[in-house]
Chain A
Amino acid sequence: MQNVVFGIVTGSILAVATLGFALVRQTENFLNIAHAQMMALGAFVGVVLVDTYGMNIFAAGAITVVGLGALGVVLAAVFFAPVRHQGGTVLLFTSIGLALMMYAAILALFGTQARFYPDVSGSLHRIGGIGIATNELVIIGLAFGSIAALQLFLNSTGLGRAIRSVASNDDLARVRGVPVRTVSHTIWFISSAFGAMAGVMLGVLGSVNTEIGWHNILIVLAAAVLGGLRSITGVILAGLLLGIMMDVSALFIPTAYRPVVAFGVLVAVLILRPEGILSIQRRKDAVAA
């Protein structure tokens, strides 16, 4: 049971990170490999603010999330906007290039030494024999709070509805006069902010090192594919499921296999239930070709 709780914590962080990733996938139509480097950057910026400048963890977290959200908007304008017309594959490889550059920036700015947030775990609560630390409760609360806020924003504001219409059909949205630029900036802000937030949370629970990005990109991809890249609920469930599976599997097999479990699940899902990818594509080819 204890591992299920760990899994829920891991899963909430994963859900936050994956939502940011899936939002870009749905609206800009490409897999943004650089997303996980935003997580790594978030973890580092947060730890520097807290550890080096002695800032309160919540203030540091807020500054990190807002600052990196803004950085995400700038990066998208510089790197992705100019090649947008070339389609998903060029965008995807551009995001690999950007990921490498962000990774290099992290190496150059923060060095290869692992860093740690000061102990902010707080007191341990016991609920029916299961222990959960205050910081873990806060993480779960913040994760679901932000997801709920995003849900509310998408459903009940004009801009949110515009984003959803872009997600469902870009061309139609443009014809209807949706402010495409504003929508795009907002999407990148939210996506990057969610990535940075997940990075800070990961850092608080463990250690901060330069490889966070590369370690997490596949887990995020796995959660995104499992969740079907479409619905927010699907992504949340996939994140929680993967988190719990990774942590519960530690009971039966060595913890070293933790990432292998996630990738194994990903491969199994892709191969056993590829969302009717094959049949739909065949039909499209036959009609269009």
Chain B
Amino acid sequence: MTNPIFWVGVLTLALIYASLAMALNVESGWGGMWDLGIAGLLASGSYCYVILTAGPDLDMRFAPGLSMWVAWPLAALFTGLVAFAIGAPALRLRREYFLITTLAFAEIIRQLVVIQADFTRGTVGIPNINRPFDSFVSGREYNYVLLAIAAAAAAVMYLVTRQIGVSPFGRTLRAARDNEAVALALGKRVNRMRIQTFVLAGVLIGATAPVYLFYIRAISPQLFAPGITFTVWTALVIGGIGSIRGGLAGAFVLIVFTEAVGLIEVDPAHINILVAIEPFLVGLLLVLVLRFRPDGLFSERTAFGAGGRSNSRARDPRPAEPAATSGG
């Protein structure tokens, strides 16, 4: 069990969750939109990708059989559209009601996947999803390819979300989260910015969905129960909501921890306990972090506070940023 391939898998999963948590951080941490509908967005991106790339052998009603390199960006765009359809009405609601609405939308999406079995194969699911470079590398070695793909995706996600965070756009987003009335009084188009952010998070989650599928290899609606939303949230809370590196760090702690504990040898007679370990640990970590370190491992303060902010600007590679005059 403790062979390197196992840990390659754990690392890959951690990077995928890290990507999702960083995308969530943009809308929830900086945008202040408490989205409990991650599972629905992930389902939208995943099913869009799977349907667009499905071969004729699966006997699905709509199977254009596109190349995965075409389907991947289309899945991201489609998820952005779904996010817009959810966000436009839901963003009129206050935090608690927004949270319920996004949770409800995610469940509606999952039920629609179950019901529209002609298109999605419903609860039967779709096995053996095509993966990039599958034909060049075989079997065990492919796990390293997958790790590289997940690492590249997480790196892009980190760079994109950090750029959002330190930009004037991210700054105004945080400002409007802190005090909507003042932002409005300064002429900020708060609602439009929030919808843009919600859609952007949707696009980022949709772009991550195919990577998740490469790892999972088979898709069924049960994957997109609220549990996955809560896991992503737990990763973000552990890492620190609103910080730039929080999602990354939190996902590593959470996934490595749960997978390592899963290694403990359990008598087959108590197989139920094995199934229960993951939700138990996720729940326990969430409760403990909220109680003893509510800011998480990295706080927003260290990301944007006095020193942190000017440092992150000084490292910014883009010449157009006024790093030289910031004086900080």
- Give the B-binding residues of A (Cβ under 8 A): 31, 79, 82-83, 86, 88-90, 92-94, 96-105, 107-112, 211, 214, 217-218, 221-222, 225, 254, 256-257, 259-260, 263-264, 266-267, 270-271, 274, 277-278, 281-282, 285-286, 289
Known: A211-B225, A281-B94. 9 other contacts (CB 8 A): A86-B290, A86-B294, A93-B290, A107-B272, A107-B275, A108-B276, A254-B115, A274-B97, A289-B179
Whether B230 is near chain A, meaning CB under 8 Å from some CB there, is yes
Instruction: Select which of A79, A101, A264, A271 is within 8 A of B93 by beta carbon.
Output: A271
Q: Which of A92, A96, A267 has most B Cβ within 10 Å?
A: A96
Instruction: Select which of B94, B111, B230, B279 is within 8 A of A260 by beta carbon.
Output: B111
The answer to whether residues A218 and B290 also contact, given A88-B96, A108-B276, A271-B90 and a CB cut-off of 8 A, is no
**CB atoms of A256 and B287 under 8 A apart:** no
B287 proximity list for chain A (CB < 8 A) = 79, 94, 97-98, 101
Instruction: Select which of A82, A92, A112, A267 is within 8 A of B105 by beta carbon.
Output: A267
How far is A111 from B290 in the complex, measured between Cα atoms in Å?
A: 29
Instruction: Select which of A89, A267, A286 is within 8 A of B104 by beta carbon.
Output: A267
**CB atoms of A111 and B115 under 8 A apart:** no
B34 proximity list for chain A (CB < 8 A) = 89
The answer to whether residues A256 and B115 also contact, given A101-B279, A108-B273 and a CB cut-off of 8 A, is yes
A79 proximity list for chain B (CB < 8 A) = 287
The answer to whether residues A90 and B294 also contact, given A100-B230, A112-B272, A266-B100 and a CB cut-off of 8 A, is yes
Q: Would you give the 0/1 interface string for B89-116, flagging 1 where the beta carbon is closer than 8 Å to chain A?
A: 1101111110111011101100110110
Give min CB distance, A14 to chain B, whole Å: 16
Give min CB distance, B225 to chain A, whole Å: 6
> How many contacts between A and B, using CB within 8 angstroms?
145
Give min CB distance, B6 to chain A, whole Å: 23
Q: Would you give the 0/1 interface string for B115-142, flagging 1 where the beta carbon is closer than 8 Å to chain A?
A: 1000000000000000000000000000
How far is A103 from B286 in the complex, measured between Cα atoms in Å?
A: 14
Find the A residue at minimum CB distance from B97. A270
B227 proximity list for chain A (CB < 8 A) = 100, 214
The answer to whether residues A104 and B107 also contact, given A98-B287, A111-B272, A271-B93 and a CB cut-off of 8 A, is no
Whether B280 is near chain A, meaning CB under 8 Å from some CB there, is yes
Number of interface residues of B (CB under 8 A): 49
A112 proximity list for chain B (CB < 8 A) = 272, 275
**CB atoms of B96 and A104 under 8 A apart:** no
Give min CB distance, B108 to chain A, whole Å: 5
A100 proximity list for chain B (CB < 8 A) = 227, 230, 279-280, 282-283, 286
Whether B315 is near chain A, meaning CB under 8 Å from some CB there, is no
Find the B residue at minimum CB distance from A211. B225
Query: Nearest 8 A-B pairs (CB), nearest first?
Result: A100-B283, A104-B280, A97-B286, A101-B283, A97-B287, A108-B276, A289-B181, A107-B276
Whether B318 is near chain A, meaning CB under 8 Å from some CB there, is no
Find the A residue at minimum CB distance from B289. A97
A93 proximity list for chain B (CB < 8 A) = 233, 237, 286, 290
Whether B284 is near chain A, meaning CB under 8 Å from some CB there, is yes
Give min CB distance, A286 to chain B, whole Å: 6
A89 proximity list for chain B (CB < 8 A) = 34, 95
Find the A residue at minimum CB distance from B114. A256
Give min CB distance, A287 to chain B, whole Å: 9
A104 proximity list for chain B (CB < 8 A) = 276-280, 283
Whether B148 is near chain A, meaning CB under 8 Å from some CB there, is no
**CB atoms of A221 and B100 under 8 A apart:** yes
The answer to whether residues A278 and B94 also contact, given A94-B291, A104-B283 and a CB cut-off of 8 A, is yes
Find the A residue at minimum CB distance from B277. A104
How far is A271 from B100 in the complex, measured between Cα atoms in Å?
A: 11
B107 proximity list for chain A (CB < 8 A) = 218, 259, 263
How far is A44 from B230 in the complex, measured between Cα atoms in Å?
A: 24
How far is A221 from B89 in the complex, measured between Cα atoms in Å?
A: 18
A263 proximity list for chain B (CB < 8 A) = 104-105, 107-108, 111
How far is A83 from B290 in the complex, measured between Cα atoms in Å?
A: 8
How far is A102 from B290 in the complex, measured between Cα atoms in Å?
A: 17
**CB atoms of B104 and A266 under 8 A apart:** yes
Whether B55 is near chain A, meaning CB under 8 Å from some CB there, is no
What are 20 sample pairs from A and B whose C-beta atoms fall under 8 A apart? Answer: A93-B286, A96-B283, A97-B287, A97-B290, A99-B283, A100-B283, A101-B284, A105-B276, A107-B279, A112-B272, A112-B275, A218-B104, A221-B100, A256-B115, A263-B104, A271-B92, A274-B92, A277-B97, A278-B92, A289-B181
Instruction: Select which of B93, B283, B291 is within 8 A of A274 by beta carbon.
Output: B93
The answer to whether residues A257 and B115 also contact, given A100-B282, A104-B277, A221-B103 and a CB cut-off of 8 A, is yes
**CB atoms of A218 and B103 under 8 A apart:** yes
Find the B residue at minimum CB distance from A263. B104
B294 proximity list for chain A (CB < 8 A) = 86, 90
Give min CB distance, B204 to chain A, whole Å: 22
How far is A190 from B180 in the complex, measured between Cα atoms in Å?
A: 38
Whether B226 is near chain A, meaning CB under 8 Å from some CB there, is yes
Q: Which of A108, A221, A222 has most B Cβ within 10 Å?
A: A108
**CB atoms of B100 and A225 under 8 A apart:** yes
Instruction: Select which of B93, B181, B233, B273 is within 8 A of A270 by beta carbon.
Output: B93
Whether B182 is near chain A, meaning CB under 8 Å from some CB there, is yes
How far is A83 from B93 in the complex, measured between Cα atoms in Å?
A: 26
